[in-house]
Amino acid sequence: MQDSFTQPYLNDAVHQFRTLKALAERAMAQITDADLFTALDEEANSIGVLLKHMAGSMHARWANFPSSAEEPPERHRDSEFAIDERDTQQALIERWEAGWQCLFDALARLTPEDIASTVRIRGKSLSVIEAINRQLTHYAYHVGQIVFLAKHFRSGAWQSLSIPRGKSEEFTRAVRQRYEA
pLDDT for 116 equals 86
Q: Quote the CA–CA distance of 58 and 180 in Å, as a whole number.
A: 41
Tell me whether residue 67 is exposed, middle or buried, using C-beta atoms within 10 angstroms of its C-beta: 0 to 12, 13 to 18, 19 or more: exposed
Q: Is the pLDDT of residue 1 over 50?
A: no
Parse the chain into domains and list their residue ranges. Answer: 6-180
How many angstroms separate the Cα of 23 from the Cα of each of 27, 35, 72, 148? 6, 17, 28, 11
CA 151 from chain centre, in angstroms, equals 17
CA distance 9 to 179: 24
pLDDT-derived band of residue 2, with 50, 70 and 90 as boundaries?
low
pLDDT band at 30 (very low <50, low <70, confident <90, very high): very high
- The kind and range of the H/E element at 31 are none
Report percent pLDDT > 90 for the chain: 73
**pTM (2 d.p.):** 0.91
- Please state, as a whole number, how many other Cβ atoms lie within 10 Å of the Cβ of residue 46: 20
CA 42 to chain centre: 24
Q: Which fold has domain 6-180?
A: Four Helix Bundle (Hemerythrin (Met), subunit A) (1.20.120)
The pLDDT assigned to 97 comes to 98
CA angle 141, 34, 22 (to 5 degrees): 40
